[in-house]
Structure 1
Amino acid sequence: MDSELEEIYRQVADSISPEEFEERVKEKVALMAGLCDSRTAAMLVARDLGSPDLLTKIGSIRPEMGNVTFTGRVIAVSPVREFQRSDGSLGRVANITLADETGSVRVALWDETAELIKSGDLAVDQCLKVRGLAKEGFAGTEVSLGRGGGFEEIDQDIHPRVAPYKIGELKRDMSDVNLLAAVVDPGEMREFERRDGGKGQVRGVTLGDETGKVRLTLWDEQAQMPLLKGETLEIVGGSVRERYGLLEIQTGGSTAIRKSTKKLDFSERMTPIAELKEGMLSSVSGFVSGLGEVREFQRDDGRMGRVANIYISDDSGRIRAALWGEHVDRLVEVDLGYRAEIIDAQVKSGWNEGLELSCGWRTRITFAPPE
């Protein structure tokens, strides 16, 4: 039983054995004909057993979960902001951030509820039980109280997580993420034109630690900061998004990026071909065991593109790698038996239900003749 199912099972453990609980979860998934995942099915089983108010750990909250109930300690309170509605009436909104040992989440407060901040009835360090609607916010997952939602102060000693996350712990739609990682590739800043005609700057930086790698997106002034490979960055208050099947850390106005004197030893991990799994961002090392023809195609915008397939083998297996764009030019100097190192390729489902490496603009490839 995985950790998320265990979290739900513990709340109904007095009513059912773990084996019977797992069996009912499988039956519920089958009954829903694949329309719900095992976690949602587990929550439905728990409700069938008479536990309507299931508690969810903050680190497990996702936008698609809908109504959630959780507990946490208030670690941040925003000022109350007033705004004018379309009907001319005055509205008020504020955010509080709650955290437990698994993560943090923002909760949006509206109108009368937001006034509790001004009155001092809602403040940092209180422990609350919250019922609300999970949704995707500007900076990751957030919870809105809405109709039927609410919160109450509880007498619990909740200890929020203090340590920064490891890259391997990151999940889609996490918000207020703190991370300490080494700069693997500082990237290059590029300018773009905003919708209002102004100029903006953006930069993609690859970060790494002993658990993996992730892309960090920096904007404007932060994109201009000088970065060197091997330096350590501390990110405070980032959010995790999924883009093209891969996780990225996005930054906003409240995100702090600063250099750290703490040294992190990062070394590129080469994954054996036999251990590759769909959805991974992986690096492999082996030799060229097959070369396909270069194929031209027309992109959606009318431009012509090129793709070529090669095969890479190591001691554990063989896999096809699809090379796109400028990577295709490298094949002029490559022959069978050449040593190959492919860094940051995405593992996808390929032809005939097999796996393949997709080598796009993020991928770095080196070839060398056999010794």
Structure 2
Amino acid sequence: MSDILDIYEKIGGKVTQKEFNKLIDEKMEIMGGLCDERTAALLVAHDLGVEGVNAIKIIDISLDKKNVEFLGKIISAFEPREFNRNDGTVGKVCTITVGDETGDVRVTLWDELAEAVKTGDLKEGDVIRVKGYVKEGQQGLEVHLGRGGGISKEEGETVNVKDPMISIGEVQLGMGNMCTRGVLLSKQDIRTFNRKDGSTGCVTGIIIGDETGKIKVTLWDNKAKEIDGFEPGDSIELLHGYTRESFDGSVEIQVGNRGMIRMSEIPVRYEEKVTKIGEIEPDKFYNIKGIVTGIDGVREFTTRDGKPGRLCSVHISDDSGRIRVVFWGEHANFAEALSIGDEILVTDVQSRVGFRDEMELSANWRSTVRRLK
């Protein structure tokens, strides 16, 4: 469809196509060659009282467009936060993510519009028309509402939203505002730390997986606390995270205050590839499955920083051999409750040469443990 025909379709039959083309010619003549045919068509549509003819798709938003207008659906809305202005007044700001069938973009809302998110007047699922200007944000392009900009709810309009989720196998370094879903495989205890400004922060790590792989996720502050509401085996969604290089050179996802964690309505499948016990070599990570053939019991100890710790050693066998697995921390509780004859699956355990030069495995926070039968 040509640009002119596309604009004509948006005027909703106010005039015939022949009359519309005639008005375009007249507009071009009045403008004395100062506009092209498309611009003249937009001016005619405006004269006819038609709004939204300048609307673009989200995928077409770019810095060189400066001012944009688009129709989209609110995918997510973040809780507004307050701040103090230089004049002593208190302002409010929040961001929403708006999407259509081509993609999504962050929109920053101030004061009354931010309050509308808090009261629910603007909420997930609402279809809105946005007029604003484009700027580079911390995690990609953002749209801000300046002078002449604004938001209007479009009752009765339908917008199909592109699924923003990518598979774990598609996650790459340098991604911002990314979304994925996976099975929660393991989670680390929350750790607190002091920032340079004197405030206290907290951080934790989790591992999630889907059919394409698994990945480490670092959660900061409120997001670190929210993960307590989820258990290994839950299918979860991470929204508006970003990627960084981990200390071991791998790619990890980070989720801060701008991100979201929620239960996934779509169940995620994840299956580990298992290595036979007889094929295990030192200083590597493995997933193993076998029968419990021995339990040494729990041993308590004190860490270097004075904290109490626990470990429990269990012997696991398959048709290729037998190996000792040391379960640390919370995994020691799981191991202590096992019985001879239980079949278990243990993932991400590290191999090493241990006592009496025998091969053994170590299950720490990165590991997952599951009783099969």
Shorter-chain TM-score above 0.5: no
The higher radius of gyration belongs to: 2
Q: TM-score, normalised by structure 1?
A: 0.43
